[in-house]
Structure 1
């Protein structure tokens, strides 16, 4: 009779232990949330522990991420139409600040926000110069202005 209760008890205990342990890869950072609030930030690789069913683990890339943007149609001062391709490289430095800034949307919300910022900056900078300047050697100066 006792064996009938021991085996399911062992299986339940094993499942509980396995659901409370997680592995942090060297290429990622982890946020441990408890009821939606940040409880712990883990940025070192190794084993991590959480309270099952109460705490949630969110993983974020620690590497530099690429963000290709859609081609933009820009009209410089001389009313020519230019199609501009752009890309950005970005990285999550502080997970708590990142979480507050984008909320539950995570990386996809951040990409959307960055895409809007980059598009607006490109239109502002390239819309204020003639198309010849965009196509000349001054292009590096314009790229630095957009970046900054």
Structure 2
């Protein structure tokens, strides 16, 4: 019995040691082997591997892209404006040995260092930029410079920074109202200039229209005067031709027109002698012969008395 117990214990220990000797490296991991706390080797290829049981330890690091978010930091821009910047960082562990030697066996150790590196780079780069540049298409160039500086400092920890981005850039509350007031004043100034330019253009258009109107009216009046003169000239020619063909009838017709204009209302008064030439056609009219009076009807005879 004692031999069987000893043999079973040896088998159990052997199985335990064999199980402790093998480990698997996942495709999303990279492994650092340490012996008594000292790094021995790095395994970055996935698969089944061996180690010395009870002596060597396996420390796994994620080889995927990792995230790190920084809290909002207040920075001073190049135009002396204050801005609260909230950023995030994407990085990966490229050298597990250097990472273990400088940071430690966990990813928590790198977060504090990344926070100081990213914050310092943000302050250095944004200190030479204006608010308009940060809020415009220039942000890509600014973030590229921040990413370059952060990556240069982060390489000494065995990591590579893939990207640094500003998630949010807000003005401090005490500066927001002042900036909004300045923006409103600027917009009002632009609006006043636009209205003044519009009024100037409108006045110019009205003056041109008034000038064109005056020219058109003058030209129309000139054309009308020419037409009236031509018409009067033709009328005079027609009257003259008619007078030459029958002067007596023409004189009679003109006199009849004068009679119509004078006596049409029935309220005209004229102080003239009967022998005036104006009434010559009244004097020259032949006197009408008086018609014979009709014989008077005989009076009825009185009725006989009853």
Question: What is the TM-score with the length of structure 2 in the denominator?
Answer: 0.45
The within-5 A match list for 1:24-35 is 24-35=25-36
The equivalent residue for 1:11 is 12
CA-to-aligned-CA distance 1:75-127 (integer Å, 9 cap, x gap) = 2133433221211111111222222332x254222222122101110011112
User: Hey, which of these two has a bigger chunk of strand by percent?
Assistant: 1
The equivalent residue for 1:56 is 57
Distance 1:100 1:19 in 2: 25
The within-5 A match list for 1:45-84 is 45-84=46-85
Question: What is the TM-score with the length of structure 1 in the denominator?
Answer: 0.89
Distance 1:89 1:37 in 2: 29
Report the aligned-residue RMSD.
Answer: 1.6
Are the aligned partners of 2:77 and 2:126 in contact in 1 as well (CA < 8 Å)? yes
Distance 1:84 1:97 in 2: 31
Distance 1:19 1:105 in 2: 20
The equivalent residue for 1:119 is 119
User: Hey, which of these two has a bigger chunk of helix by percent?
Assistant: 2
SS in 2 for 1:10: helix
Distance 2:145 2:43 in 1: 35
Distance 1:120 1:39 in 2: 35
SS in 1 for 2:128: coil
Structure 1 unaligned blocks of 5 or more: none
Larger Rg: 2
SS in 1 for 2:124: helix
SS in 1 for 2:77: coil
SS in 1 for 2:57: strand
Question: Are the structure 2 counterparts of residues 101 and 4 from structure 1 closer, same or farther at C-alpha, using a change threshold of 3 Å?
Answer: closer
Which structure has the higher relative contact order (CA within 8 Å, separation 6+)?
Answer: 1
SS in 2 for 1:91: strand
Distance 1:114 1:61 in 2: 17
SS in 1 for 2:68: strand
Cα displacement (A) at 1:8? 2.0
Cα displacement (A) at 1:21? 1.3
Distance 1:144 1:72 in 2: 19
The equivalent residue for 1:39 is 40
Are the aligned partners of 2:59 and 2:105 in contact in 1 as well (CA < 8 Å)? no
- Aligned pair count? 147
Are the aligned partners of 2:25 and 2:31 in contact in 1 as well (CA < 8 Å)? yes
